[in-house]
A and B are shown apart, each in its own frame.
Chain A
Amino acid sequence: MSAVIENHHEDHHHGPAKGLSRWLYTTNHKDIGTLYLWFSFAMFLIGGAMAMVIRAELFQPGMQIIEPEFYNQMITLHGLIMIFGGVMPAFVGLANWLVPMMIGAPDMALPRMNNLSFWILPFAFFILLSSLFMEGGAPNFGWTFYAPLSTTYAPPSVTFFIFSVHIMGASSIMGAINIVVTIMNMRAPGVGLMKMPLFVWSWLITAYLLIAVMPVLAGAVTMMLMDIHFGTSFFNAAGGGDPVLFQHIFWFFGHPEVYIMILPAFGIVSHIIETFSRKQLFGYASMVWAMLSIAILSFVVWAHHMFTVGLPLAAELFFMWATMLIAVPTGVKVFNWIATMFRGSITFETPMLFAIAFVVLFTMGGFSGLMLAITPADFQYHDTYFVVAHFHYVLVPGAIFSIMAAVYYWIPKWTGNMYDERLGKLHFWLSFIGVNVTFFPQHFIGLAGMPRRVPDYALQFADWNMVSSVGAFLFGLSQVFFLFIVIKTVMGGKKATDQVWEGARGLEWTVASPAPYHTFTTPPKID
């Protein structure tokens, strides 16, 4: 490590390059973190605009705004863009900004690969979005791209979709490798594994999950490519293949993937609750073990997405119990957060509001997940709006609220300016009301039997769909407001102190605000 430190010492006084080349050629973890965060914000707004189209069509029964074919393209792209373009790059961006500062490292271990892993992403999404203008339209088979919908019956643009998934996968794998190498080898002396901040722990585990499952996803889309163009029959029953096999391979990737999108959120929320409760986090070690157990269990529960494909009874029982087991470590985490807040001197700044909303609403999403884990109940709920409500509760007020909380919490460190607390709180309440008005009624219409992925529906679902659409428009608009708040904070505002928050602990709060271009070129002293 000494070699790295000395190298950086020599160019200590170099600031960032000027102009566009700064961003194109940068190997600085803070610049790349910023790029990731802005990119994910752009994708969040594009995916959000698609959600608005979906909710506008569902505002009333009947077809009024768009064609059913286009509706299918919207739900597919909305899912893909929010997952691979919104949530994942946002977490990678946060990791880039925060992990080196939290462990007292001067930068990421593989800075050039870091640059590459970001800059291939815009191309992946350019390819994916350009399929909207191709003959036959964009992918229309849902974000889970089940064969044979995505093979035999796919539009010609599916090949572009496959290529873009390959690029996204390569980007994620490179980002994950970089994070693991950084965390395992570049911690300042004194930062032992069990002394690492929880966000670092959460990302270490997430990165291992990414390295394990993104190649499997790449394998799945490669098999699709071969079935479509090279005459193989991986998923083609006529040639001895099996469409159910696709679902097994997809969900072997897909279930760890959903924890990839929530583990970093656990890390973020732990920091914020600790800071604003002005107490040390309750049960640090159990938090680490809980995340590890969740990660390991995530590999043996995939078939709970497939209860209705005709699994044998033994498999249905196994996957039901294994899935329910995940509630145990998750419960440990929720109780630890509550115990941290218990008798703390809590203040309710915007990041804390988002973090508390995360704990409450994510837990609700967890409970609907438990309901879905019950095999016989799932036969009723499968492919209804209840599932839509479930995964939006864990992803929107779960993953996305944690990202917003992180932005409010660390933006003073990034920009040196405090955000406007009044506007931040307004944004929180608009989002909180919006998200619940949007997704809570979807539980009702799902239980009443409305199937997901339909552009039109029976009359009895009309009222709650309208409520849901109104909530979605409110939520969508409040994110444009969020963009305004972020830009306002970047442009100026009350100057932040170095510690920023009274209760904040951790190495990132020991450097100046805004964080200098190079930090910890000599490792910090840890007591």
Chain B
Amino acid sequence: MNEGAKKTLKRLLVAVPLMFAFGFALVPLYDVFCEVTGINGKVFQSKDVEKLVIEDGRPIGLQFISTNNENMPWVFTPSEEVMTISTGKYYTATFYVKNTTNKKMTAQAVPSVAPSNAASHLKKLECFCFEQQVLMPGEEALLPVKLLVSNELPKNIKNIILSYTIFDITEYEDDSLANNEMNHENMNNHGGQH
């Protein structure tokens, strides 16, 4: 093989692991992209919520939806299905859960906001979705979410839907999910907000 061919070969052999790494780099890139643009309905914790508090906000309809992922047997419903709230004010809503089984179970709720361009304006100060829920057999609980909708919410949005899907993660418990990066970050922020 001549020199030119060796050079081409070396370059291409570098390109292959780089593109393999790029495939994995798409994972954090995707999350960063979603966080920056607020699309995908993903809700992230934000700092400096205090300065968003205003007195004369406009009214917004806030609707809660709860969904059980496939075989999740818990009872999971919002205490109130609809609230009328005012932008720039703190509100706390609760969800009722009950472990209907006879074994100890762990759950994780995953939030989503519609319309997606409202997601970045819905600020959560506390949320049960930042933590895992462990319930004993037959145990029930009221899970709180403390939130504020920024007045910068686009004017054409009159209603926001906040939906939670609850997942049974009992079998994953203690390994990967406990160390999940997103949960960690959120829990840290959560502590800082008090």
Contacts and interface: CB of A to CB of B under 8 A. Distances in A.
B91 to A, nearest CB: 25
B108 A238 contact: yes
A311 B117 CA distance: 11
Contacts of B4: 184-185
A306 to B, nearest CB: 12
A240 B30 contact: no
Nearest to A216: B23
Interface in B61-113: 69, 108, 110
Interface residues of A, number: 42
B125 to A, nearest CB: 20
Contacts, number: 117
- Report the contact-size class of chain B (Cβ under 8 Å from the partner): 35 or more
Interface stretch (A228-236, A403-411, A446-454): A228-236
A330 to B, nearest CB: 25
B39 A237 contact: no
A216 B175 contact: no
B32 interface: no
Contacts of A248: 26, 30
Contact of B27 (A3, A217, A245, A311): A245
B23 A215 contact: yes
A240 B167 contact: no
Nearest to B167: A238
A211 B16 contact: yes
Given A245-B27, A249-B23, A215 B17 contact: yes
B141 interface: no
Interface string A108-126: 0110000000000000000
Interface in B148-192: 165, 167-169, 172, 175-177, 180-183
A3 B116 CA distance: 63
Contact of A211 (B19, B165, B180): B19
Contact of B169 (A3, A211, A239): A239
Given A234-B27, A238-B108, A310-B116, A180 B8 contact: yes
Interface string A201-215: 000000000011111
Contact of B180 (A185, A218, A240): A240
A237 B26 contact: no
A220 B23 contact: yes
Nearest to A221: B23
B2 A239 contact: no
A110 B19 contact: no
A4 B69 CA distance: 63
A238 B69 contact: yes
A245 B30 contact: yes
B188 to A, nearest CB: 15
A1 interface: yes
B55 to A, nearest CB: 32
A177 B16 CA distance: 10
A244 interface: yes
A285 interface: no
A177 B108 CA distance: 46
A498 interface: no
Interface string B1-41: 11011001100110111111111101100100000010111
A173 interface: yes
A293 to B, nearest CB: 21
B108 A110 contact: no
B2 A216 contact: no
Nearest to A244: B40
A388 interface: no
A213 B5 contact: no
Contacts of A216: 19-20, 22-23, 26
Contact of B176 (A109, A211, A239, A249): A239
Contacts of B9: 109-110, 177, 181
B181 A237 contact: no
Contacts of B21: 219
A213 B19 contact: yes
Contacts of A220: 23
B172 A231 contact: yes
A186 interface: yes
B8 to A, nearest CB: 5
A211 B24 CA distance: 16
Nearest to A113: B9
Contacts of B108: 238-239
A252 interface: yes
Interface string A92-121: 000000000000000001100000000000
A249 B15 contact: no
B102 to A, nearest CB: 22
A4 B19 contact: no
A312 B36 CA distance: 13
Given A180-B12, A248-B30, A238 B19 contact: no
Interface of A: 1, 3-4, 109-110, 173, 177, 180-181, 184-186, 211-220, 223, 230-234, 237-240, 242, 244-245, 248-249, 252, 310-312, 315
13 contacts: A4-B1, A181-B8, A186-B5, A211-B16, A211-B19, A215-B16, A215-B23, A237-B110, A237-B167, A238-B69, A248-B26, A252-B23, A312-B117
Interface of B: 1-2, 4-5, 8-9, 12-13, 15-24, 26-27, 30, 37, 39-41, 69, 108, 110, 116-117, 165, 167-169, 172, 175-177, 180-183
Given A3-B2, A239-B180, A248-B30, 9 more contacts: A181-B12, A184-B8, A185-B2, A185-B5, A215-B17, A216-B22, A216-B26, A238-B168, A245-B30
